Amino acid sequence: MTDVPLPGSTLTRYAWLSIAAAIATILLKGIAWWLTGSVGLLSDAIESFVNLAGALMALWMLTLAALPADDEHAYGYGKAEYFSSAFEGFLILLAALSIGYAAIARLSNPQPLEEVGVGLAVSVLAALINFATARILMQVGKAHDSITLEADAHHLLTDVWTSAGVIGGVGLVWLSGWLWLDPMIALLVASNILWTAWHLIRRSFAGLLDASLPTAKLRQIETLLATHRQQGLAFHALRTRQSGSRSFVSLHVLVPGDWTVQQGHDCVERIEDEIRRFLPHAHVTTHLEPLEDPVSMIDQGLERPPADSK
């Protein structure tokens, strides 16, 4: 039942990358808004402030999640990552409301745009920085099952598409002279950001409520157990949960009752090791029971009945 060590502080370097990208894009988008006066570009700049706050939170939570288990937190600090993604979702929600407020105000008082060409060029550069950073964070987040890095990557990619829409819309305003189009684009940006916020917050709550592993991973476990069933073993009470980059798996293993303790121990050790091969940071717990004993079949459900009911 030995755990494979977590990536530890290695993931925090990617949080620092996200922080650097957020600072760079804030400066670039702020310049673009200052040059043009576009509320659409302002909405894009506001979202970059959210990126920075989210990246700082991600750095803190990744550092906390990497701490080893202790007497007060026997299962480790992995769930800290869910606080990060929930916090980022909340910040995105606030950004959407701020953008919507600014856009509605501009709709009632349209203003001409200035220095659009230079402003758009600066915004394109900022979008490219976000895109490159998001690709890196997404790859690392998936490789290490880090919801914090994945949430940050999704947010940055949303920012990229938001920027693309804003850049295209401001370009249309520049060419057509339709000033009302600029705040309308900002409202569309706000709507898109709201959807991202909802997705992040929902996923964070699922993790905090101990949702089971994804279906694909459960199928891998079931496929593995099926090979052992063909050898005469049985299993029940399989339970799983995700805690940041760490997985928890528990199950009951039923073996022939005439096996020695050593035989049973060797068997469950092999099964635990096989599970950890495709769940690298999993804590696997097994409970050994004799196949022939009817009592072994009582606790197949999620709740184990009290001893006096057996």
Sorted by where each begins, the domain ranges of the chain are 8-208, 215-309
Distances (CA, A) of 108 to 102, 105, 176, 258: 10, 6, 19, 83
For residue 148, pLDDT over 60 is answered with: yes
**Which pairs count as long-range contacts for 289-296, CB under 8 Å and 24+ apart, including other chains?**
289/252, 289/253, 289/254, 289/255, 290/254, 290/255, 290/256, 290/257, 291/233, 291/234, 291/254, 291/255, 291/256, 291/257, 292/256, 292/257, 293/257, 296/252, 296/254
Q: Are 284 and 249 in contact (CB under 8 A)?
A: yes
For residue 271, pLDDT over 70 is answered with: yes
Residue of 130 and 43 predicted with greater confidence: 130
Beta-carbon contacts of residue 221 (< 8 Å; ≥ 6 apart): 213, 238, 240, 249, 275
d(CA 240, CA 23): 39
pLDDT, tens digit, 9 for 90 and up, residues 185-205: 777 777 777 877 787 787 777
pLDDT classification of 252: cutoffs 50, 70, 90: very high
Fold (CATH) for 215-309: Alpha-Beta Plaits (3.30.70)
pLDDT value at position 4?
41
Q: How much is the average pLDDT of 215-236?
A: 90
Whole-model pTM: value is: 0.55
CA 213 to chain centre: 14
pLDDT value at position 7?
47
Q: Are 152 and 203 in contact (CB under 8 A)?
A: no
d(CA 232, CA 226): 10
Fold (CATH) for 8-208: Alpha-lytic protease prodomain-like (1.20.1510)
Beta-strand runs (E) in the chain? 234-243, 246-255, 282-290
